[in-house]
């Protein structure tokens, strides 16, 4: 099969090449990929940001979410059949959606929303699961709470705004003035133009912040929370809880704990909490999203679609921030 691979960390080229078809284990579903989306996680894996905690074997096929059609099922598969249209974020140890075929454990798959095209469906799994695990699982957002979502016009932001609104929250977001109309349409009550305003001076008393930026933005986010509030970051330093989730060695646990020490110290001084989120695969949670999507509660935002033979261009387009809003998608056919 054809796949997009890179051979060493920091290799910003990568190439389309022929590799063997995936092996299908007892509970695996073999999916013919019809579309996959580009995510910042792809760049971070390629650049080696996670090589100490996710030791992938190189060369590696990139790609972290997909939509496609089932072409084979393992003997123990009970949830899917050949011909089913599905979408998924494969487990972190089994990424590789920039390929014609991928084997995914049945628990990580979900039926594709019937109202979406393959390209639209492929834009969702990683950002949908990130939003769900941050706002529903970890923050347990309740009606009337105040939620700040950074980078509201980005892949995670466009979905998180809609989910937070569905949960009954008062939603603020940061975005450029040019994107204000879009994020308001998605459900934002307050839009802070990060180019002309300092959100720390505008917002106060928030219950939850979902941070997709890190750095100074994360630091300031601690100060817009009410006492007892929570910052959940997908861009900040990993913490000890994440190390435990990975089953990390004591040395790696200490290293991650040290990375987030400064942030956790500042959070404690503010009377709030900080946690790092590395999204997990979950077919069951995607089923929840499928219901919301088919009901018209949440819609995907796709910026641009590229054919597979232009995947280098798609990655460069996404990495350099050229997308106006939402996701960049690659179609395999």
State the Cα torsion 280-283-285-286 to the nearest 10°.
110
Mean of the per-residue pLDDT values of the chain = 95
Contact 291, 267 (CB under 8 A): no
Give phi and psi for 169, each to the nearest 5. -80, 155
pLDDT of amino acid 244? 79
Residues spanned by CATH 3.90.180.10 within the chain?
A: 2-124+300-331
Residue range 246-261, pLDDT digits in tens: 777 788 788 888 889 9
Cis peptide before 59 (omega within 30 of 0): yes
pTM, full prediction: 0.96
| CATH 3.40.50.720 placement within the chain | 126-276
- pLDDT band of residue 141 (cuts 50, 70, 90) is very high
- pLDDT at residue 53, rounded to an integer: 78
126-276 is classed CATH 3.40.50.720: yes
In words, the CATH class of domain 2-124+300-331 is: alpha beta
Asked if the model's pLDDT at residue 171 lies above 80, the reply is yes
pLDDT digits (tens, 9 = 90+) for 177-193: 999 999 999 999 999 99
């Amino acid at each position: 099969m054809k796949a997009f691979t890179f051979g060493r960390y920091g290799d910003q080229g990568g190439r389309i090449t022929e590799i063997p078809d995936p092996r299908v284990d007892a509970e695996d579903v073999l999916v013919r990929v019809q579309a996959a989306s580009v995510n910042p996680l792809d760049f971070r894996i390629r650049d080696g940001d996670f090589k100490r905690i996710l030791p992938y074997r190189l060369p590696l096929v990139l790609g972290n979410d997909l939509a496609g059609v089932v072409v084979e099922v393992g003997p123990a598969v009970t949830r899917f059949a050949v011909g089913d249209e599905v979408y998924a974020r494969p487990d972190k140890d089994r990424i590789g959606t920039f390929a014609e075929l991928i084997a995914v454990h049945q628990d990580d798959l979900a039926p594709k929303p019937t109202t979406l095209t393959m390209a639209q469906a492929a834009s969702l799994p990683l950002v949908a699961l990130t939003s769900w695990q941050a706002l529903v699982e970890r923050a347990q957002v309740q009606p009337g709470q105040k939620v700040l979502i950074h980078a509201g016009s980005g892949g995670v932001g466009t979905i998180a705004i809609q989910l937070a609104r569905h949960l009954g929250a008062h939603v603020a977001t940061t975005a450029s003035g040019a994107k204000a109309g879009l994020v308001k349409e998605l459900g934002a009550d307050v839009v802070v133009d990060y180019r002309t305003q300092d959100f720390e001076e505008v917002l106060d008393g928030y219950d939850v912040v979902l941070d997709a930026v890190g750095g100074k933005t994360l630091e300031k986010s601690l100060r817009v929370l009410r006492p007892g509030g929570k910052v959940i970051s997908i861009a900040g330093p990993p913490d000890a809880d994440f190390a435990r989730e990975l089953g990390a060695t004591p040395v790696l646990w200490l290293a991650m704990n040290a990375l987030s020490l400064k942030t956790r110290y500042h959070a404690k001084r503010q009377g709030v909490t900080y946690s790092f989120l590395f999204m997990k695969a979950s077919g069951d949670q995607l089923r929840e999203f499928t219901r919301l999507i088919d009901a018209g509660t949440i819609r995907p935002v796709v910026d641009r679609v590229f054919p597979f033979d232009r995947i280098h261009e798609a990655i460069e387009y996404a990495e350099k921030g050229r997308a106006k809003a939402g996701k960049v998608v690659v179609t395999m056919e």
